[in-house]
Amino acid sequence: MIVHRDERWIAVDKPAGLLSVPGRGPDKQDCAWSRLRSLHPEALVVHRLDQPTSGLLLFARTPEAQRQAGQWFETRQVGKRYQALVWGRPTAEGGLIDLPLAADWPNRPRQQVDLQHGRPSQTRWGRQAGPCPAGCTRLWLEPLSGRAHQLRVHLLALGHPIVGDALYDPARPAERLMLHAERLQLPGLTLECPCPF
């Protein structure tokens, strides 16, 4: 589970289906953070991944490191790269999705494209080499902003929802959401975690 550890940071490979941090209620206390704290009680939350997403999740080992990471995320000094399997085949080789996002309040926790009231959201994407089931395409994704469900909603808006997305594409179930956080780049540190699918 731990893929990197030094005096400031601990990075884990979060499995799909595991919460990043505790949720509400006694049945939602098992999470990556609580498991890590059993080994490293000093671990502090830096960011989160959606429960169905797998991959790199970073924790800080000191309050100073946590504050530093927060500044880096806020000023977009952290590079994030994901791999995904999507339904269909985009006509372009890649591009930039620039669509503002907002909460879909009647259908929470869903998010939606909202051209009037949404917050600016951008995702770079391109085709990725690797194994791919029939009817699907493997993509790399780089979110330039950090909105809730951003990659999932942007790919849905592109017309190519992520395989296994039970929230946004429930008619086509799969064993998991095919979305994996494979790389994190911080000033002075690059972390990688191979895609499991």
**Domain span at residue 174?**
80-180
The number of folded domains in the chain is 2
Backbone angles phi, psi at 63, to 5 degrees: -60, -35
Residue in 13, 30, 50, 165 annotated catalytic: 50
Q: Verify that 136 and 54 share a domain, yes or no.
A: no
Listed residue (162, 160, 143, 142) closest to 152, CA to CA: 162
Residue 191 belongs to a domain: no
Residues 168 and 84 in one domain: yes
In angstroms, the CA 162 to CA 85 distance is: 6
The CATH code of the domain that includes 62 is: 3.30.70.580
* pTM recorded for the entire structure: 0.96
CATH number at residue 144: 3.30.2350.10
Q: Mark 121-151 as b/e (b = at least 16 C-beta within 10 Å).
A: bbbebeebeeebeeebbbbbbbbbeebbbbb
104 is an active site residue: no
Together in a domain, 97 and 169: yes
pLDDT tens, the chain, 197 aa long: 899 999 999 999 999 999 999 999 999 999 999 999 999 999 999 999 999 999 999 999 999 999 999 999 999 999 999 999 999 999 999 999 999 999 999 999 999 999 999 999 999 999 999 999 999 999 999 999 999 999 999 999 999 999 999 999 999 999 999 999 999 999 999 999 999 99
